[in-house]
Amino acid sequence: MPEFKVVESPLLVLGGEMDKKIVKLVTERSQGYCEVCGLPGESMALHHRKLKSRGGKDCASNLIAVHHQCHNLASDSIHLNPAMAEQNGWMVGSWQEPHEVPMKRPDGSVVLLQKDGSVIFLERT
């Protein structure tokens, strides 16, 4: 399993530091791999599926570990292609609760992310 560090930019941690227990739950779930593309990475960002500007909270069901390319640098990244991100569950609407919105994983499986860091499989590949 590759080791990696999570980079908490001010944009991801508005209003203060993120609870280290939450960061640990997300990093353990991702196991050092980007939760969008599936590739290992040393430097990852924590992405809020329900953006903080939409009322999103710092909890394991609302956070995914992603490469910076997958987060906001590549043309098909989460923030530069929000329609695709919403279709895959990597971004959710302000009216939605992240733990209720299915998310597509890199292996094609579809899961519900839980607040305790676990996943419920809806479809396995």
pLDDT in tens, 91-124: 999 999 999 999 999 999 999 999 999 999 999 9
Within 8 A by CB and 6+ apart from 116, the residues are 25, 60
CA–CA separation, 51 vs 85, rounded Å? 12
For the chain, the domains span 5-123
Read off the pTM.
0.86
pLDDT in tens, 12-66: 333 457 888 999 999 999 999 999 999 998 888 999 999 999 999 999 999 999 9
Half-sphere exposure of 5 (CA within 13 A, CB side): 3
Q: In 3-state terms, what secondary structure has residue 71?
A: helix
